[in-house]
Amino acid sequence: MEYDSFLFQAFIYLVAAIVSVPIAKRLGLGSVLGYLIAGVIIGPYVLRLIASVGDVMHFAEFGVVLMLFLIGLELQPSRLWKLKGPIIGLGGLQVFTSAVVIGAIAYTIGFGWRISLTIGLILALSSTAIVLQTLSEKGLMNSEGGRSSFSVLLFQDIAVIPMLALIPLLAMSGAGFSGLEMEAGHADSAVEALPGWQQALIVTALIVTIIIAGRFLARYAFRFIAETRLREMFTAFALFLVIGIALSMQLVGLSPALGTFLAGVVLAESEYRHELESDIEPFKGLLLGLFFISVGASIDFNLFMQEPYLILGLVLVLVSIKLVILFILGVVFKMNMSQNFLYSFSLAQGGEFGFVLFSFATQNNVIPAEISGTLILVIALSMMMTPIMMIINELLIQPHFKSFGEKRDPDEIDEKNPVIIAGFGRFGQIVGRLLHANNIGTTVLDYKPSQIDMVRRFGYKVFYGDASRLELLESAGAAEAKLFILAVDDKDKAIEIAKTLKKHFPGLQIIARSFDRRHTYDLMAAGVEVIERETFASAIELGESALKMLGFHGYQAHRAAITFKHHDEKHLMELYEVLESEDENTFIEMTKEKNQDLIDLLKSDQKDIEEEADHAWERPSEFKK
Amino acid sequence: MSANIRNKVLIIFAHPALYKSRINMELVKEVEGLDGVTFRDLYDEYPDFLIDVKKEQESLRENDLLVLLHPFYWYGCPAIVKEWVDLVLEYGFAYGRGGDALIGKKIMSAIATGGTEDDYKRDGMHYYSVREFLNPFERTATFCGMQYLPPFVVHGAINMKMEDIAVYKSLFGQIIKALRDGEMDLAELQGFKYINDYFLEKYKSWSI
């Protein structure tokens, strides 16, 4: 078998991932470190199992694009707008200060100012992939520190674009743009030849198109696709969307990651958001994993072994400088101490853009190849240190602060509603309206596109998706919700959802709509707490009206109705207890018996109910004629 | 409509099981549908106790005499009457700042009780008089600036013969009509324990 056949390579990566990541997680090291170590092990310096790491890494970088798309989906425009201060202020100052300080050190060592400036700029960047993956794995994305980290990273991702433009200008030989800048996912730009104002116009037009299409057209496209009821079509469409945007961004010379992030933000208010999330999520996870593995595999241990102490020293210096600058900025921005440590420790590494930018700078004759090689190694090692730094922060520093990880900004979690309603048809809507009228936030899931459109027109937030899918339940916030209202109009699906919920979110209370007695029992067996038969209560009410129209006094009819209701519910429970406790033979016997009971029930309803209600407000012995 | 209506009457009636109460059934038949009399059966209209407060207040504004007609349960009224009083006589309507809607209006309890008049005496089984038990109603009325009239009381309703019930039925109808048409001297009326007594004294031809 050929070692570099696609399937064999895929097999190696998968084995490495499924062996190392669970172990790393079990040891509390986080998945990122697991992937990185796996990469080192299968890489050219240990087992030599993989070929052409560079190509793989290039492909796997698309995982970062998917990740930013998903982050965008979580971030409504209004919330992004609220972050503008931290992004520009904190992010801008971090890049500026770090570049200046690191550049100054390089200059002091004796590099020329061009080289020093380039090194400063590139090393100012941190790793979006590692930081965001680690933070979200630890559930810290919504903390103050998490949001600050995110803001800084977003600024850095934007800053890469002017850096790509600046580096060729710093070239010692004066060499201009070359085709190589496509390495950075930057140019190969079709509009490159046009004058600046036309380029700007095209870029603006593209962004406006994304916003308008995302806001007004996407819904119809999603609906059209969703109505095929083929889940893979939706997945295909979601991937098409992300890849299409990434490509068009590349075409006009913008960062694909930023483009998809923007698209994510635009779609954050779409009813198809949760479904998009759960469709893209696995791809993002696998690609990011692949990316981390390739980072691990790309670490040049030959280079390292030549001057191990120098390299380690450089890693420590880089991390310390970045850490101190981040921390001071955190103090300037009045960040809570514990959150400041979290964000400083998260961001104190070099970033994956560094790989690309250093190669780019070398190819533009800005930096000599041996310096680039060393610094790329430093960045890779500093990235590998990040999970370890986070563990240090967690174990040694955070215990001094009580509120670590608990402090959440209410604004950030307001979209995680206390109630999730699955199924928003004839039944779910009534429940939803009642809760809505009492100001209780609901997240609504439905899988009929026409239904969603109709209800959305009345201002409800309804999301498209199949509520029996675990990923969808997760992204709808089942882990944080207090109550799950199961109102789907499919018997088997309801049972399936109830079982999934009980298994994965045992703390979540479920109340459900059932169709009939049999279905009620099945739901009870699945662990549902409260069950209402869908037609029962309304039939009772109609019955009450009937009694009233036949001349019953209003209150007499009302009591007759509610008494009957309780009576019937009591019987329902009694039969269930029989179902539950007895073995099969007894059960069959009991069912026959209970069926007879049901016949008797119809006969005895009158008598029982009279006994229950009739002696109220009288003294029978004295009063009866 | 009768030309000599002086007081428009609102009868608030409550019996949770009207079909079991002969006396209440008869009293209701006598007054329901009279000119100038608005009749409202709380248990029929609000079986789930969700009282339409605005509508009830509007009725109070439109009428001059409020009659609370109900059986005498545990020395008080059936649950829904208490609910009605609690919700309808709210701050800003019946009392407190701007709460002047009821000032000058008249109110009368009309109750049927199983015990005899003798049971409601110091040496009887209930110790206190009916008037004493009705103190909460009287004070509520006074608090809202209303004039509290002596109550219409049917004693011994449990074992009453149909012919006696018929007498009370007719008496109740006469009293409501007399109040409606302003034929009673209210100052003189205040001296009586029950409105029944005043009426019987004034119209000697009456007898039970």
Residue B43, min C-alpha distance to chain A (Å): 5
For residue A619, what pLDDT is reported?
56
CB contact under 8 A, B114 and A616: no
**Mutation site for A-interface testing, chosen from B28, B29, B43, B81 by largest number of A Cβ within 10 Å:** B43
pLDDT band at A63 (very low <50, low <70, confident <90, very high): confident
Give the tens place of pLDDT for each residue, B74-114.
999 999 999 999 999 999 999 999 999 999 999 999 999 98
Q: Of residues A598 and A100, which shows the higher confidence score?
A: A100
Contact A617 B73 (CB under 8 A): yes
For the segment A171-210, what is each residue's pLDDT rounded down to a tens digit? Answer: 754 443 333 333 344 445 566 667 777 878 888 888 888 8
Chain B residues within 8 angstroms (CB to CB) of chain A: 15-20, 41, 43-48, 71, 73, 78, 114, 158-159
Least confident window among A48-57, A62-71, A448-457, A548-557: A448-457
pLDDT digit string (tens) for A65-95? Answer: 888 888 888 777 887 888 888 888 999 999 9
What per-residue confidence (pLDDT) applies to A615?
58
Is the CB of B16 less than 8 angstroms away from the CB of A554? no
Radius of gyration of chain A (CA): 31
> Exposed, middle or buried, A332 (CB in 10 Å: 0-12/13-18/19+)?
exposed
The residues facing B95 across adjacent strands are: B91
DSSP string, B171-195: HHHHHHHHHHTT-S-HHHHTT-SSH
| A393–chain B nearest CA distance, Å | 59
What's the rounded mean pLDDT across residues A454-459?
70
Tell me if A558 and B159 make a contact (CB, 8 A cut-off).
Answer: no
* Nearest residue, CB atoms, A555 vs list B16, B114, B159: B16
CA neighbours within 13 Å on the CB side: how many for A140?
Answer: 25
So what's the pLDDT on residue A119?
A: 92
Residue range A323-336, pLDDT digits in tens = 999 999 999 988 88
Nearest Cβ partner for B44 among A554, A559, A618? A554
Cα–Cα distance for residue pair A38/A49, rounded to 1 Å:
11
Residue B3 lies in a domain: no
Q: Which chain B residues are within 8 Å of A618, Cβ to Cβ? A: 17, 20
Angstrom distance (rounded) from CA A405 to CA A414: 17
**Into how many domains does chain B fold?**
1
CATH no., domain A54-400: 1.20.1530.20
B71 and A558: CB-CB below 8 Å? no
Cross-chain residue pair B114–A554, CB shorter than 8 Å: no
Q: Which of A236 and A190 is assigned the larger pLDDT?
A: A236
Give tens-digit pLDDT for B123-162: 999 999 999 999 999 999 999 999 999 999 999 988 889 9
Question: Identical fold at A54-400 and A414-534?
Answer: no
A interface with B, Cβ–Cβ < 8 A, is 544, 553-559, 616-619, 622-623
Query: Cβ contacts of residue A488 below 8 Å, gap of 6+?
Result: A422, A423, A428, A467, A494, A497, A513
Give CATH superfamily name and number for A414-534. NAD(P)-binding Rossmann-like Domain (3.40.50.720)
Angle at A558 between CA A555 and CA A560, to 5 degrees: 110
**Residue A624 confidence (pLDDT):** 41
B153, part of any domain: yes
Opening angle at CA A384, ends A381 and A390, nearest 5: 130
Q: What is the DSSP letter of B149?
A: P
CB contact under 8 A, B17 and A618: yes
Give the list of residues 6+ apart from residue A357 with CB closer than 8 angstroms, or none.
A121, A122, A125, A160, A163, A164, A167, A184
Residues of A in contact with B81 (CB under 8 A): none
Cα dihedral across residues A41, A46, A47, A50: positive or negative: positive
Report yes or no on B74 lying in a domain: yes
Give the nearest partner residue to B45 out of A544, A554, A557, using CB atoms: A554
Contacts of B204 (CB under 8 A, 6+ apart): none
The neighbouring-strand residues paired with A510 are A484
User: Cα separation of A461 and A474, whole Å?
Assistant: 17
Residue A131 clears pLDDT 70, i.e. is over it: yes
Q: Tell which wins on pLDDT, A435 or A608.
A: A435
- β-bridge mates for residue B39, sequence order: B11
Cβ–Cβ below 8 Å for A556 and B48: no
User: A366-402: b or e for each residue (b if 16 or more CB lie within 10 Å)?
Assistant: bbeeebbbbbbbbbbbbbbbbbebbbebbeebbeebe
pLDDT reported for residue A388: 87
Instruction: Compute the distance between CA of residue A256 and CA of residue A81 in angstroms, rounded to an integer.
Output: 21
B19/A553 touch (CB, cutoff 8 Å), yes or no: yes
> B17 vs A556: CB contact, 8 Å cut-off?
yes
Percentage of the residues of chain B whose pLDDT score is greater than 90: 81
In a domain? residue B109: yes
Residue B55 lies inside a defined structural domain of this protein? yes
The verdict on a CB contact (< 8 Å) between B114 and A619 is: yes
- Residue A361 · residue A379 · CB < 8 Å: no
B17: alpha, beta or left? (left if phi > 0; alpha if psi -120 to 50): beta
Q: Could you tell me the residue range of the domain that residue B72 belongs to?
A: 9-202
Contact at CB, B18 and A556, closer than 8 angstroms: yes
Q: What is the pLDDT of residue B135?
A: 96
Residues with Cβ within 8 Å of residue B168, at least 6 apart in sequence: B23, B26, B27, B154, B160, B208
User: Poorest-confidence range of A15-19, A606-610, B176-180?
Assistant: A606-610
**Mutation site, A553, A559, A609, A625, interface B, largest B CB count within 10 A:** A553
- Reported pTM: 0.58
| Domain-embedded: residue B161 | yes
- Give, in degrees to the nearest 5, the angle at Cα A511 between A509 and A516: 150
Instruction: Provide the β-strand partners of residue B108.
Output: B67
Structural domain spans, chain A: 54-400, 414-534, 559-617
Look at B158 and A619 and tell me if their CB atoms are within 8 Å.
Answer: yes
A58 pLDDT band, cuts 50/70/90, is confident
User: For A155-169, A481-495, B78-92, B168-182, which range has the lowest pLDDT when averaged over its residues?
Assistant: A155-169
List residues bridging with B67 in a β-sheet.
B11, B108
CATH code at position B149: 3.40.50.360
CB atoms within 10 A of CB A592: 10
The tens digit of pLDDT for each residue in B60-78 reads 999 999 999 999 999 999 9
The highest-confidence range among A340-344, A612-616, B139-143, by mean pLDDT, is B139-143
Residues in chain B with CB shorter than 8 Å from the CB of A553 are: 17-19, 41, 43-44
B208 lies in some domain: no
